[in-house]
Structure 1
């Protein structure tokens, strides 16, 4: 059964990614191994399930029929697993969790340490990244729970976790009146935060910012600010550890409203809910 289920997952992933290499990366298997499994699967039908093109792969008519079958089979297998897990007296099974990188860096380790100690039979699968990626994983049902920052609204149940200020962050020697002449540091983050940055700037300055520094992480951004190499707009999480070395100023919209960013937990509502999922939801609500 496990081998058949793996074939369903492989086929569905290729169909949704439209690309064998991307599907292999997503499934954490080599491309040759994935291509071999697909070839063996297609032998059962005596005809191709995909049409290979220069832009990727698309389903044949038979492939479309098998795609719907595989999707339905995976759903029914998940329902069976959930029913069997919920019959047990102990909380066990797999928890598929996704979290924004910042939350994972500062808050999640303590939460997971306590949760796994209380529920040692739960197997944890965790993915982290910018919130827009976690939204995609949640929407595609690749994860059961998503901890997401910003103004996203994926379909599912939402639990408010916290709200934090968005801050102007400069070196101790920077004068806010000179921001237009000082390099703005932009870093890899969620697009919704870029929108906040740009909107705030336009409300307060008439000339474009002096953009030129593009970094990959918030941690690197903070280090650059410490060395007076530029300024940035950052969420408050983690900034308290640098308060002695940088200037942190919470921002406001031009109507006086504080600029804040929410962090929420999203989960897929199911009856009955998987024990591991419900246990994590309850644990977070008690300890956040």
Structure 2
């Protein structure tokens, strides 16, 4: 069901003809006819008797018209209430995020959020997962979005979405033309790694231990404090790495490096909302979290989210 079909249907009823409805909607008559056919296919029955001079509602059409008026009225009221909420929701939000959500995911969402809630000022601090969780626990940040579950007595975690980790290699590397590598091949290569405490590093080490591999088996030649620094080092041939697909794929698309999988061994980690259990979050924070979930579920970020 498409909301526009109901709107078009109601205008047809009110105007009494497809031609006048098309004029009122600033659409072509074939476009109006197409929407009407789609609505009739949805209900599985004709909604109008068609004659050469006029159109008349069938019994099914009368039922649909009755309920569509109510539905359109409710949608209009909901829009008004949401717009009122946007005027009411004001203030400042202090957020923290680890590198991947903070640098690659949240900036676009924050722009959309402030379009909807212009009275809200958002401050975003980026750090490693442990540092962000610690500041949430201390009340210095209202919300964190981290790539690892950091234990804390007064912390509550909720999954935001899942982040696939991919192997990245320089474009001239012998693995670059392949779609995947074995776990053994991956471990044997010189590695560029994130610093200890980063969500990516924690997720990789935990996954290796699940596979019976000691994290110390990795041949780490360089540790760096940001994903961008890691990608720059890989692109310059310092080593290979395992990083978030959100960060790596844009560079792979322009040919700076290649992204690979590890044969038969998925690597992924959760990205989590982290808040304090007490006190309960303010309304402004609940609205923000609901907005992020809405954006996630609408697949607003396309293939990169």
Structure 2 length as normaliser, TM-score? 0.55
Q: Is the 8 A contact 1:158 1:266 kept in 2?
A: yes
CA separation in 2, counterparts of 1:98 and 1:135? Answer: 8
CA separation in 2, counterparts of 1:219 and 1:206? Answer: 22
User: 2:220 is matched with which residue?
Assistant: 211
Counterpart of 1:187 (choices 194, 199, 210) is 194
Q: Is the 8 A contact 1:166 1:261 kept in 2?
A: yes
User: 2:160 is matched with which residue?
Assistant: 161
User: 2:275 is matched with which residue?
Assistant: 267
State the Cα distance separating 1:135 from its structure 2 match.
0.5
User: 1:95 is matched with which residue?
Assistant: 93
Question: What does 1:135-284 correspond to in 2, within 5 Å?
Answer: 135-154=133-152, 155-172=154-171, 173-175=173-175, 182-188=189-195, 190-191=197-198, 193-198=200-205, 200=208, 203=212, 208-243=217-252, 244-251=255-262, 256=264, 258-268=266-276, 273-284=281-292
CA separation in 2, counterparts of 1:165 and 1:145? Answer: 23
Which piece of structure 1 moves more, 136-145 or 159-168?
A: 159-168
Let me know the Cα RMSD of the aligned residues: 3.3
Q: Secondary structure at the match of 2:100?
A: helix
CA separation in 2, counterparts of 1:271 and 1:210? Answer: 44
Residues matched between the structures, number: 198
CA separation in 2, counterparts of 1:161 and 1:217? Answer: 21
- Point out where structure 2 has 5 or more consecutive residues left out of the alignment: 1-86, 176-180, 297-305
Query: What's the CA shift string for 1:7-54, capped at 9, x where partnerless?
Result: xxxxxxxxxxxxxxxxxxxxxxxxxxxxxxxxxxxxxxxxxxxxxxxx
Query: What's the CA shift string for 1:236-282, capped at 9, x where partnerless?
Result: 22111122332322347xxx552211011123356874231122122
Structure 1 length as normaliser, TM-score? 0.58
Q: Secondary structure at the match of 1:138?
A: helix
User: 2:178 is matched with which residue?
Assistant: none
- Point out where structure 1 has 5 or more consecutive residues left out of the alignment: 1-88
